[in-house]
Amino acid sequence: MNKITCIIMDWAGTAVDYGCFAPLHTFLRIFREKGIEITYRQAREPMGLLKIDHIKAILSMPEVNSKFRELYKRDWNQEDVQEMYRSFEKHLFASLRDFTDPIPGVIETMEILRNRGIRIGSTTGYTQAMMDVVRPEAARKGYTVDNLVTPDHLPAGHPAPYMIYRNMIELAIPSVDQVIKVGDTVADIREGVNAKVHTLGIIVGSNEMGLTQAEYNQLSDAEKEERIKEVRERMLQAGADAVLNTISELPAYIDQLSL
């Protein structure tokens, strides 16, 4: 493998917003407004998709679809999706600034990578307008990237490869062999696989684990081990080349790749 020269980070659940809670609460809320209760797992499963596609993905789940038909005596349609997305944006923008704290170990890890000359790109399921809130707030708290690509004005977001390719163009990275995609959702993993880049999942703080930092810290060692094992298996099944417990393990992993 060529020397790694670029890391492409996801945002919520990988770099900031431990547990990826900003979008979670908003999805639960907009479905409740529609008269439909969804579970945390249902809300989290499509995480990483462009948010309007995420709403469609939840509505398409058999159990949720059945609840919608029972309540409204019809199938959901694009008007429902647009109405729910408008509500999603309103509620998310009201709370987004509060979910921009960097996940422990991220700032220090990025500094180590930068000192090695590695560029830091990023992709996200958030739109540019959402990232105009998140990015400066995260920077104020110490987390910055060299490049950000949102799904706006591209053929598709995660799990399509286009955001990774746009990062490579804008950062002048000549080969997919020099890139590692790092993410916390199944959609992130599939994005990396579709782009043919080395793909890593990160477990602690992830959407896939779905716990706050306090909840994770309260688990026993055996419970942590069981949760980590479950998430690792989901990410490996999605096609990850490897899955790390924390972002802090990334520099050593890159060293191992270079051997």
**Catalytic hit among 10, 17, 53, 241:** 10
Q: Which strands form 179-183's sheet, in the order they lie side by side?
A: 119-122, 6-9, 179-183, 198-202, 242-244
Q: Which residues contact 204 (CB under 8 A, 6 or more apart)?
A: 216, 228, 245, 246
Is residue 51 annotated as a catalytic residue, yes or no?
yes
Cα end-to-end distance, the chain, whole Å: 10
Peptide bond into 62 cis (omega under 30): no
Q: Could you give the angle at which helices 62-72 and 51-59 cross, rounded to 10 degrees?
A: 80
Q: How far apart are CA 19 and CA 21, in angstroms?
A: 6
- Would you state the structure tokens that stand for residue 195, as one six-digit string? 């782009």
* CA dihedral (237, 157, 146, 15) positive or negative: negative
Is residue 34 annotated as a catalytic residue, yes or no?
no
**Catalytic hit among 3, 17, 34, 51:** 51
- Which runs of E-coded beta strand occur in 103-197? 119-122, 179-183
Catalytic positions: 10, 51
